[in-house]
Amino acid sequence: MKRNIILMGPPGAGKGTLAKMLMEGLDLVHISTGDMFREAIKEGTPLGTLAASFINKGDLVPDDVTIGIVKERLAKPDCAKGFLLDGFPRTLPQAEALKELSSEIARPIQAVVNLDCDENELIRRISGRRVCKSCGAPFHVETMKPKKEGVCDLCGGELYQRKDDNEEALKVRLTHYNEDTKPLLDYYAHEGLLVNFNSLVGKEKLFDEVLSYLNK
Ligand code: AMP
């Protein structure tokens, strides 16, 4: 069983949904930098104010800030059981910092799961996405409707549309993905860690395929 895992893919590829499904069956720590930033924004901390000024426009939060929060989180004892990094690393300096960090704490990355998805489908998914304010569970206005409109099936929280899920911010996010994050696929292929999955097969099939790979 692979335990220290990176989940990669463009915005809208299904990382959050897959991470939540994997977390139900695997005893791993879920580290989503996007969720950490959104939590800080909700709490109104200085980190939140700084992060919001980048996130709302679709830009990446600077590397030193992002690496800092991941470093702090990975140092916590619960990460010894294994972790799933969701949305980190997104730049080459982040990947290099992670390599150093994971070797310092003797928890090397064992798999990089990459979700492939075509760009038209990403736009369709993101523009219809709704997220629970309380637990972060993702829904979609057409393909993943909640049982009751505007209400989370899991915790009863209120569903909302993320500020960065609009057309303008999405364009910027896709540009960052193509320019800053995509080159990491070569980086991890070179390290012999990359495995590609087609996220268009649907969330249940994708989950089965990824889980069986991680269990090998
Ligand atoms: P996500 O929830 O993963 O889509 O992340 C939402 C936003 O948070 C991104 O569009 C970035 O603005 C910011 N963010 C999340 N992870 C990172 C990261 N590793 N590096 C820089 N910015 C990030």
Ligand 1 nearest atom to the CA of residue 164, by list position: 10
Ligand 1 nearest atom to the CA of residue 176, by list position: 10
Distance, CA of 132 to CA of 151 (rounded, Å): 8
173 lines ligand 1 (CB under 6 A): yes
Q: Are 67 and 31 spatial neighbours (Cβ–Cβ below 8 Å)?
A: no
The verdict on pTM exceeding 0.85 is: yes
Look at the domain 4-118+170-214 and name its fold. Rossmann fold (3.40.50)
User: φ, ψ for residue 73 (rounded to 5)?
Assistant: -70, -40
Q: Tell me the domain boundaries of the chain.
A: 4-118+170-214
Q: What is the pLDDT along the chain (216 residues), one digit of tens a residue?
A: 899 999 999 999 999 999 989 998 899 999 999 999 999 999 999 999 999 999 999 999 999 999 999 999 999 999 999 999 999 999 999 999 999 999 998 899 999 999 999 999 999 999 999 999 998 888 999 999 999 999 999 999 999 999 999 989 999 999 999 999 999 999 999 999 999 999 999 999 999 999 999 998
User: φ, ψ for residue 159 (rounded to 5)?
Assistant: -90, 140
* Ligand 1 atom 14: residue of nearest CA: 34
Pocket test for ligand 1, best of 64, 90, 91, 96 (most atoms within 8 A of CB): 90
Q: Are 102 and 74 spatial neighbours (Cβ–Cβ below 8 Å)?
A: yes
* Ligand 1 atom 15: residue of nearest CA: 34
161 three-state secondary structure: coil
pLDDT at residue 106, as a whole number: 85
Which residues are annotated as catalytic? Answer: 15, 90, 129, 162, 173
55 lines ligand 1 (CB under 6 A): yes
Distance, CA of 34 to CA of 64 (rounded, Å): 15
Q: Are 89 and 193 spatial neighbours (Cβ–Cβ below 8 Å)?
A: no
Distance, CA of 126 to CA of 170 (rounded, Å): 8
60 lines ligand 1 (CB under 6 A): yes
Q: Which strand (E) or helix (H) includes residue 104? A: helix 92-104
